[in-house]
Chain A
């Protein structure tokens, strides 16, 4: 990734007006879909992603069922109208890979042994894409799984960090992803202190690798608070708001 123009000005302000340690605006709505067992809608910068969770339910085809635990299936899909130029609706190799890493990032959080012979399906539909759609998708999927009432050790929060204009910055947006130097998406279980997704695209010096990882984990912790708040909002409604006002 060769950089052509400056993405951070002399005051440390990025193209979308953020500082280097700022997260984009994140909003999570829990339970927008009535038919799903659990669902979430996330607005993460310009990303608009809807996640539905069905299950635990019977496995089809039946031979896929496991005798000692539940099968987790994940589909990451981008709508044809979600990108600048129309995206072919058939699953691309990129989507197949993201579906896989997404499933693997969620699996450590789930108590799958509690639901033998069953399947849990996670459908992640990107309606409008921005940089970091896999991170936003994972964060929303974890909330949707919790909304479905599936036993979890922790939520999975996800956020990227990266390198832009030689600086390590939090939460890469679309422009920075395309024109910046590196993008490192991370998913993290803050309570268990475990990294469940780690990828890197682009060049980064060995001494910046740890810094970038730590920054992304810091972002995950911010997303974690928003996830918890969203779940509290649905299940405890105004109570939490009232308590906060009293404090």
Chain B
């Protein structure tokens, strides 16, 4: 993904000037205010073969997340909890600069930051997902595929993951003669919290919520703050620049306000899902 920035370097310089002119007047390239997010579209249950799925568009960034539930051994040290694994892949469909292959460090970071939000918020009550304590537990895989990139993949992927989990139908497994049987029935996911990440980029002294691709190409540093109703549960500063403590505290306030807006949307999905 880093190669994309180099190959567009001439456009970048001209656009950067344009961007700076706009920022000094309080406007961004696409006309948004600094704290304004792009349009967010969430569609759920798009893959019928998955136990839960969601397709999210944030601006033109597009991510599809699918949930698959299986059974397996618990993680070491977490014997009495179900296992939950979030992974992410940026597909070669997503931009001309992405080539197939093992995930690079940016994609590893993406998956780990999204996973951290879900894990640390204790979104899913994993203690309810144990079949034989210490031996057999539910294993929930959330696989995210980025279909198109237009900046802020962190939030797009996070919303897709949360939306897919919220609307998942958990198969009910039972033990019969030491074998796992799928009863064919389902139940809702045991959800305890709804984590929402809000990412901002710093360009010079300006901190912009939900950066687009061009803004990301010009940013000095990036911060992702994940909240639940109760407060913060995960944070990640990224990119090569830095922040002042004041900028971080302001971004944290914005993440609380914006996070609540997105959370209301996500909670609405469950209500609609019945």
Contacts and interface: CB of A to CB of B under 8 A. Distances in A.
B193 to A, nearest CB: 9
Contact of A200 (B111, B235, B238): B235
B75 interface: no
B200 interface: no
Nearest to A217: B245
A210 interface: yes
Nearest to B234: A200
Contacts of A97: 105, 108-109, 112
A104 interface: yes
Given A193-B244, A198-B223, A184 B237 contact: no
Interface in B224-274: 225, 227-228, 230-245, 248-249, 252, 256
Interface in B143-160: none
Contact-residue size bin, chain A (C-beta under 8 Å from the other chain)? 35 or more
B120 A1 contact: yes
A202 B120 contact: yes
Contacts of B233: 200, 202-204
Contacts of B108: 93, 96-97, 100
A22 to B, nearest CB: 22
A216 B31 CA distance: 37
Interface string A79-108: 000000100000001101101110110011
Nearest to B246: A193
Contacts of A101: 109, 236-238
A205 B231 contact: yes
A16 interface: no
B30 interface: no
A227 interface: no
B237 A195 contact: yes
Interface residues of B, number: 35
A107 B240 contact: yes
A189 B241 CA distance: 12
A200 B252 CA distance: 12
Interface in B73-101: 76
Nearest to B193: A203
A108 B241 contact: yes
B245 A209 contact: no
Contacts of B239: 104
B236 A209 contact: no
A204 B228 CA distance: 10
A213 B253 CA distance: 14
Nearest to B251: A198
A238 interface: no
A3 interface: no
Given A200-B232, A201-B120, A194 B244 contact: yes
A42 B63 CA distance: 42
8 contacts: A97-B109, A107-B240, A189-B242, A200-B234, A204-B232, A206-B252, A206-B256, A210-B252
